[in-house]
Amino acid sequence: MRTILIEPTENPKVIKFVADYNLIPGSLELDRDSDISEIPLAQELFNYPFVERIFITANFVAVAKQDTVEWEHVAESLKNVIEDELLANPRIYLQKKKEMIEIYAEMTPNPNAMKFVSSKMLMDGFVEVKSRNEAEGVPLAQAIFTEFDFAKEVFISDNFVAVTRDNSVEWHQVMMAVRGYIAEYLQSGGVISNIESQKHENPVEKIINRDYTDDEQKISDILNEYVAPAVENDGGKISLMEYDAANKTAKMLLQGACSGCPSSTATLKGGIENILKQFVPELVEHVEAVNG
């Protein structure tokens, strides 16, 4: 509860309610025609019909009354109102509720990588930080590396952050700490990335600086439609890196949780290779992985 002192003024129609801290920078002078939609304290005080004007500055609220009442009958009630309102909105104006950001953790097929999913979008596209030395320009990754010695890689995409650990810890030991740290960082408005994110549509173009051939585009379209959603759901990213037409071999770039995942090879051979052989048998007979 805020402590409020009642002080008389030289004007018998005006009394001061003095707080133990500065309420606002500058001052406010309000009457019943003023816009008080963002000032709950004024709204409550003007509920009293005898209150004519309100003046707020420094550490006090001054109230001017009509002659129909005496201060000795109403001052204590106004003091209680002011104490309650300052408790709810210490800086006078209505406090905006912060957007609550929920974070939950998901395992990925890579036992070393954990996916932390946010209730809000983090970026349009993705950013991959493969080591501490590459974290410049990505404040969220820098913060994670600084806070957690075991963090090896950070992959940020759409609404999640995938963190890859080293062998010094197990996820059950640190998962809650990482989740809480990321949630607090985002809740406080921390910057996610200062560098341009790569786009999902064709990330390989940035890597090897070339356009797809017609055959490569056919393969990429199948990946995007039938494979990419499941891979991204596991905290990873898969793209066509290179296509060897002579050997009918498609080389895939694996990023995020998929990079270095022990099950990625089996996934490629057992799933993705079969899908491509089914849809474009004239183009693909083999699939190989390239860790990003």
Residues 6+ apart with CB under 8 A from 186: 101, 103, 118, 120, 122, 192
pLDDT at 269: 59
| Helix 171-187, helix 139-147: angle, nearest 10 | 140
Render 205-237 in DSSP notation, one character per residue: HHHH--PPPHHHHHHHHHIIIIIHHHHHHTTEE
pLDDT at 171: 95
Look at residues 152, 200, 170, 151 and name the one whose alpha carbon lies nearest to residue 107: 170
Residue 123 CB-density burial (10 A; 0-12 exposed, 13-18 middle, 19+ buried): middle
CA geometry: angle 172, 148, 160, nearest 5 deg: 70
The tokens of 93 are what?
A: 């104006």
pLDDT at 258: 58
pLDDT at 275: 87
Contact between 258 and 223 (Cβ < 8 Å): no
Identify the residue whose tokens are 């709810």. Answer: 88
pLDDT at 160: 94
pLDDT digits (tens, 9 = 90+) for 127-177: 999 999 999 999 999 999 999 999 999 999 989 999 999 999 999 999 999
Contact between 47 and 11 (Cβ < 8 Å): no
Neighbouring-strand partners of residue 115: 106, 162
CA geometry: angle 124, 203, 220, nearest 5 deg: 115
Residue type, 166: D
> Per-block average pLDDT, block size 10, for the chain (292 residues)?
86 94 88 92 94 93 94 93 89 74 88 92 91 93 95 93 95 94 89 86 50 85 82 74 86 68 57 85 84 54
Q: Strand, coil or helix: what is 51?
A: strand
pTM above 0.85, yes or no: no
pLDDT at 208: 45
Identify the residue whose tokens are 């356009």. Answer: 211
pLDDT digits (tens, 9 = 90+) for 54-76: 999 889 999 999 999 999 999 99
* Strand-by-strand arrangement of the 60-65 sheet: 5-8, 14-18, 60-65, 51-57, 27-30
pLDDT at 207: 47
Give the separation between CA 264 and CA 258, rounded to whole angstroms.
Answer: 6
